[in-house]
A and B are shown apart, each in its own frame.
Chain A
Amino acid sequence: MKRLDRNQIAARVARDIPEGAYVNLGIGLPTLVASHLPQDREVIIHSENGILGLGPKPAPGQEDEDLIDAGKAPATILTGGAYFHHADSFAMIRGGHIDICVLGAFQVSAAGDIANWHTGEADAIPAVGGAMDLAAGAKQVFVTMEHLTKQGESKVVERCSYPLTGLRCVTRIYTDLAVIDVKSDGLHLVEIVAEGLSFDELQRLNGVALKYRAAA
């Protein structure tokens, strides 16, 4: 079996982001999605610190300390972009104006619950940022993650054991093994993306039952 690498997962997500979408990309793997969007597709990226129309990283020497992204890295803004304050920014998120957000996760449940902000360790310093607002507010929540933990356990689970970020909000899961839709009647396999992985083997690794209807 040949699994997708991080950039290949990001490229697979990018394929599903349509022209005209307003999109928020989380920190880490989700950020990579931006560089895989086709040049001829207009997608407007929202950065929750106050940008619509986030551009690529600035060239060395062109950084501006007043222009950063949600990960606090130097950023640029596209022609046609806008700046706004934090309450407006989260009105865009909470008010259902963001079409798609892409988040990383520790676990996603069969019901679409997501856990991505806290490992549950007692001495961990907690930090949540905008993850709970995005989970609650975006029209569609895409999750990117490796399918299995280092110990080989599925991160797609019946019930999350880590502290929850949001309930019943994930719509689609992209992993190094598969693309899975979360629907009201359970998990539906969209596509196996790892080369040489059979449905039966994916089902065994996934732990939670997958529905699959081959294209007619």
Chain B
Amino acid sequence: MINKILAAPAAALADVRDGATVMIGGFGNAGMPAELIDCLIAQGAKDLTVVNNNAGNADSGLAALIGAGRVRKILCSFPRQTDSWHFDRLYRAGKLELELVPQGTLAERIRAAGAGVGAFFTPTAFGTRLAEGKETRHINGRDYVLEYPIYADYALLKADRADRWGNLTYRKTARNFAPIMAAAAKCTVVQVRETVELGQIDPEHVVTPGIFVNRVIKVL
């Protein structure tokens, strides 16, 4: 019998190694898997490469992981916020590497990894600093920049409901990067508000099919 729902949250991230690439869902705090991040902090893995739209807000969640000095590099589109002080401090001290990626290119690079696409040409950022040194091509009258997928060892995500096969639904804008990150990571770990029996999620309403999900934990 397939059962991706784990009883103990600690088991969900026990095998994360130092140096791993970890995608973390969420746009700001909407969809951020705060309990899974707390688990990762407790687990102790370091030198992590983190993929998220932002670089943490205030002192909890991703900001706490950064503040704890566990992150070596971050790929994101918008690190600078009024309350991104943990990122700001380490970045200015040269202790945190930043790869700044336009938001849509970030999403598409993640999508490409999950979809088995080797690279793609996008018009975004052509002629700007963020395309410097990148291969370009003129196609059908437009200029494009070559971008490569972002793969990850783990994706830490927050969803609303899951069944034991790992089918997921989300709540409102908390969905954001989760469905594409689920497909892009070797091991996708999801915290949910509610676990339900098979069949309680209408197949028409499944947003992320369980094939993209490895582990589920329920948080209160």
> Which A residues lie at the B interface, using CB under 8 A?
47-51, 64-68, 72, 75, 77, 83-87, 89-90, 93-94, 118, 123, 125-133, 136-137, 163-167
Are A163 and B128 in contact, with the CB atoms below 8 A? yes
Residues of chain B whose beta carbon lies under 8 Å from any beta carbon of chain A: 27-31, 53, 77-80, 88, 91-92, 98, 100-108, 110-111, 122-130, 170-180, 207
A86-B78 in contact (CB<8A): no
The complex places the Cα of A129 from the Cα of B101 at a distance, in Å, of 8
| A50 CA / B103 CA spacing, docked (Å) | 12
Most buried by B among A65, A87, A130, A167: A87
In the bound complex, do residue B28 and residue A72 qualify as a contact, i.e. CB atoms below 8 Å apart?
yes
Q: Say whether chain B's binding surface is mostly helix, strand, loop, or mixed.
A: mixed
Q: Which of A68, A94, A118, A131 contacts B30 (CB 8 A)?
A: A68
- By the criterion CB–CB under 8 Å, are B173 and A75 in contact? yes
Question: Which chain B residues border A86 with CB–CB below 8 Å?
Answer: 27, 53, 103-104, 106-107, 110, 176-177, 180
Inter-chain contacts of B79 with A (CB < 8 A): 125-127
Q: Given A66, A75, A137, which contacts B31 in the complex, CB threshold below 8 Å?
A: A66
CA–CA, A136 to B103, complex, Å? 12
Contact A132 B125 (CB under 8 A): yes
Q: Assess A128 versus B103: contact at CB under 8 Å? Given A68-B28, A133-B124, A163-B129.
A: yes
How many angstroms from the CA of A85 to the CA of B26 in the assembled complex? 11
State the CA gap A96–B156 with chains docked (Å): 31
Interface pair A94/B176, CB less than 8 Å apart: no
Per the bound structure, the CA–CA distance linking A133 and B125 in Å amounts to 7
For A83, what are the chain B residues with a Cβ–Cβ distance below 8 Å?
A: 170, 172-173, 175
Asked, given contacts A85-B180, A130-B77, whether A66 binds B104 with beta carbons under 8 Å apart, the answer is no
What residues of B have a CB within 8 angstroms of the CB of A125 in the complex?
79-80, 88, 91-92
Contact of B111 (CB < 8 Å), options: A67, A87, A137, A166: A87
Task: State the CA gap A166–B123 with chains docked (Å).
Answer: 9
The CA of A143 and the CA of B100, in the complex, are separated in Å by 24
